[in-house]
């Protein structure tokens, strides 16, 4: 969750899923961003999800991560979903209750921006163990992210930690790091609200390229492959 759009919630969700899968866990991703779904494209999943007598079947990625998204239920991935809030919220409920997830160790929910119907439905209807906040370095992002943090606290949902995405860029020629969006505010925000700071992710053209190609599971420079799964699994 972020509250802010464009901070990389979907990529962080996907990296977390890959990291936990790499540790040998059974993992699923519920794409709750119904009007801007990107999880299937990131994992290279195409086609329409199948059903059974027991409910909808999630589609599996190349490494066995189970995925359910609205884009697996519509004819074309670029078809818009033009629904009002209550219908969106009910669909997210169905993704939890009517999808045959089978035995998973972890399921990650990719939320849309804002603090509206879908985040509220997820917090009220799903048995959440906690929320991971995704931010970016700008002060504007920190202000909007604070709204999401306060929402989670008001709903009494534990916050497992904060990740600062797009923290720095690295020059491909000299290796020098520089801040495109100013000095990071992620650690400050985490300290302000007394939540764990899980780490910073740099801008990485290789990650963007793999997401576009649907091959995120091939990304090797993954902060979430080691330390963060161990922190969160505790």
- Please provide the average confidence, as pLDDT, over all residues in the chain: 90
Q: How far apart are CA 154 and CA 55, in angstroms?
A: 33
Task: Return the sign of the alpha-carbon dihedral for residues 133, 137, 141, 142.
Answer: positive
Q: How far apart are CA 79 and CA 61, in angstroms?
A: 22
How high is the pLDDT of residue 140? 84
Q: How far apart are CA 232 and CA 229, in angstroms?
A: 5
The residue with tokens 């219908």 is: 87
Residue 127 has pLDDT above 90, yes or no: yes
> Domains in the chain and their CATH numbers?
9-233 (3.40.50.300)
Number of H helices and E strands in the chain, helices first, is 8, 11
Per-residue pLDDT, averaged over 41-70, amounts to 95
- DSSP-derived letter for residue 203 is B
Residue 220 has pLDDT above 90, yes or no: no
Neighbours of 66 (CB within 10 A): 22
Residue 8 has pLDDT above 70, yes or no: yes
Reported as a single tens digit per residue, the pLDDT across 76-124 is 889 999 999 999 999 999 999 999 999 999 999 999 999 999 999 999 9
Reported as a single tens digit per residue, the pLDDT across 189-215 is 999 999 999 988 888 888 899 999 999
């Amino acid at each position: 969750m972020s509250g802010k759009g464009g901070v990389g919630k979907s990529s962080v969700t996907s990296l977390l899923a890959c990291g936990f899968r790499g540790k040998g866990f059974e993992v699923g991703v519920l794409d709750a961003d119904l009007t801007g779904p990107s999880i299937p494209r990131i994992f290279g999943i195409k086609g329409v999800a199948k059903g059974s007598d027991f409910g909808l079947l999630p589609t599996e990625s190349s490494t066995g991560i189970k995925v359910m998204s609205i884009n697996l239920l519509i004819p074309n991935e670029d078809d818009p979903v033009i629904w009002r809030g209550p219908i969106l919220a009910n669909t997210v409920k169905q993704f939890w209750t009517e999808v045959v997830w089978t035995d998973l160790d972890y399921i990650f929910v990719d939320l849309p921006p804002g603090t509206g119907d879908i985040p509220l439905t997820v917090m009220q209807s799903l048995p959440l163990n906690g929320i991971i906040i995704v931010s970016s370095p700008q002060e504007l992002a920190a202000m909007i992210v604070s709204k999401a943090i306060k929402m989670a606290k008001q709903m009494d949902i534990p916050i497992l930690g904060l990740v600062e995405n797009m923290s720095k860029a690295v020059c491909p020629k000299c290796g020098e790091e520089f801040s495109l969006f100013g000095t990071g505010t992620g650690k400050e925000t985490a300290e302000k609200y007394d939540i764990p700071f899980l780490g910073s992710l740099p801008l990485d053209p290789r990650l963007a390229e793999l997401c576009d190609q649907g091959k995120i599971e091939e990304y090797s420079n993954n902060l979430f492959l080691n330390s963060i799964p161990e922190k969160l699994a505790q």
